[in-house]
Chains A and B, each alone.
Chain A
Amino acid sequence: MSSFINASIGKKFLVSISGLFLISFLAVHLFVNLFLLGGQESYNLIAHFMATDYVISVMEPMLAIGFLLHIIYSSYLTITNQSTRPHKYKIVDQSDTTSWASRNMFVLGGLVLIFLVIHLSNFWFQMQFGEMEYIEYGGVMVQDAYSLVTAKFTIWWQVLLYVAAAGFLGLHLLHGFQSAFLTLGLYNKIWRQRLMVIGILYTIVITAGFSLIPLYFLIAHYTT
């Protein structure tokens, strides 16, 4: 097993598996975010469920491990790849042969990581360690996560940050989605086109979803 992980394909396997895990997490995250559109009670109750459910509490450290594996192994591979061409070409023309996203996955991943730190400090850190308001629903005291989130989404530069991050994430997914399947060997000439289409559709849903929700609250703030 150690020879498997030591090989380049073994490390790529870990990047792909963790990437697909994070891709599935994004779908769950967006689903939960959609409850924001249902109003204060709707979102606070789903946020309370996410914070207290046993399965979710097990998934939380797994998610952290997923992020760490993805970041550590992709960074390791990117750094080692830097030494494979000590003498660079004078001219490289790949504008028509490869996508910009595929050539810049590390940069895009880095930008998403910077956003993630800001995002966690905005919400997760506040909910865990900050002073939160509580509201009672059916005898249960629940954190008012809705007010925390919607207040942030009335600040234009915060919304701009979220929209930009969704764009970077979208570009990362555009290559990452099909690339993960290719690395796992779940890819052939027939499924290539299908995975490309599924990947593009998934990227559109995720990018649009994570952009439009903050924009909706910003526009609502300035128009009501």
Chain B
Amino acid sequence: MEFNLKIWRQKDARSQGGFIDYNLKGVSGEMSFLEMIDYLNKTLIEGGEEPVAFEHDCREGICGSCSLYINGRPHGPEDLIATCELRMTRFKDGDTIVIEPWRAKSFPVLKDLIVDRYAFDKIMQAGGFISVNTGAAPEANSIPVSKEAADEAYDAAICIGCGACVAACKNSSAMLFVAAKVSQLSLLPQGKAETAKRARAMVEKMDELGFGSCTNTTACETECPKGISMAHIARLNREFLLAGLKS
């Protein structure tokens, strides 16, 4: 297969970037999207050019490292997968593919397609934890947790923190990420006690870091590689409103 790639290249955080066109021949349909960029980089290095910088780690949709905005959508044209799980068979021979980094004031571009997602860590540091040591995993029946609560908490816990929600949102809101973290902890006995404090602290930090406010377009939910539901945003709103009433 042959592709016309239009890739954002930026030397460093202070430089002005721009799109560079590459014509790449000999791509196999079985390659993952990241393998296709590996192959491009091989040809660039062989030609004495600087390879395209991009983030990757597990390459099996778990780590949340890959963060490419492909043809107008985070993680590309398929739902419920990360970029590393996207196969080149999804594209047609001769397609033009536009590859951009996540765009948000809170996710500044560091180099080429790599953005600084440290803002998510700062939000987690503000309240995404349980303050006391809850010890090792308890015996299964010592703290009863309903099946519904466990399932719902798991649905939130599968957030990999990739930032696709921010990238997809027209307001660059991090609500789905914050909602997943607050939801996961507030549904389980160990995390429930600090729910109000946690919701307030994490939302305030999210606002402070320059993420936008959610307008419920549901773009984040659709583009989330793990399918985190808007219902978690509703829970975060509920917990935040209750925290406001208690204060």
Determine chain B's interface SS by DSSP, over half rule.
Answer: mixed
CB neighbours of B247 from chain A (8 A): 1, 3-4
Please pick, from A10, A11, A89, A188, the residue contacting B100 in the complex, using a CB distance under 8 A. A89
Q: How far is the CA of A179 from the CA of B213 in the complex (A)?
A: 13
Task: Assess whether A188 is in contact with B105, with CB atoms less than 8 Å apart.
Answer: no
Q: How far is the CA of A17 from the CA of B206 in the complex (A)?
A: 23
Q: With A77-B213, A182-B237 in contact, is A83–B105 under 8 Å at CB?
A: yes
Q: How far is the CA of A77 from the CA of B213 in the complex (A)?
A: 7
Which positions 130-161 of chain A face chain B at CB distance < 8 Å?
none
Q: How far is the CA of A98 from the CA of B171 in the complex (A)?
A: 13
Number of A-B contacts (CB under 8 A): 137
CB neighbours of B71 from chain A (8 A): 91, 93
Task: Assess whether A105 is in contact with B215, with CB atoms less than 8 Å apart.
Answer: yes
B103 within 8 A of A: yes
Q: With A13-B241, A86-B105 in contact, is A81–B234 under 8 Å at CB?
A: no
Q: How far is the CA of A169 from the CA of B236 in the complex (A)?
A: 29
Which positions 29-79 of chain B face chain A at CB distance < 8 Å?
69, 71-73
Chain A, residues 81-101, CB within 8 Å of chain B (1/0): the string is 101111111111110011100
B120 within 8 A of A: no
Please pick, from B106, B109, B216, the residue contacting A182 in the complex, using a CB distance under 8 A. B216
Q: How far is the CA of A191 from the CA of B28 in the complex (A)?
A: 45
CB neighbours of A1 from chain B (8 A): 244, 247
Looking at B80-88, B135-143, B217-225, the stretch in contact with chain A turns out to be B217-225
CB distance from B221 to the nearest CB of A (A): 9
Task: Assess whether A8 is in contact with B203, with CB atoms less than 8 Å apart.
Answer: yes
Q: With A93-B73, A189-B229 in contact, is A183–B172 under 8 Å at CB?
A: no
Could you show 24 A-B contacts with beta carbons less than 8 Å apart? A3-B200, A7-B204, A7-B240, A9-B237, A9-B241, A77-B213, A81-B212, A84-B173, A85-B104, A87-B103, A89-B72, A90-B6, A90-B19, A93-B73, A97-B168, A98-B219, A102-B216, A179-B216, A182-B230, A182-B233, A185-B241, A187-B230, A188-B231, A192-B231
- Residues of A near any B CB (own CB < 8 A): 1, 3-4, 7-13, 77, 80-81, 83-94, 97-99, 102-103, 105, 175, 178-179, 182-189, 192
Q: What are the 4 closest A-B residue pairs judged by CB atoms, nearest first? A: A185-B238, A93-B72, A8-B213, A4-B244
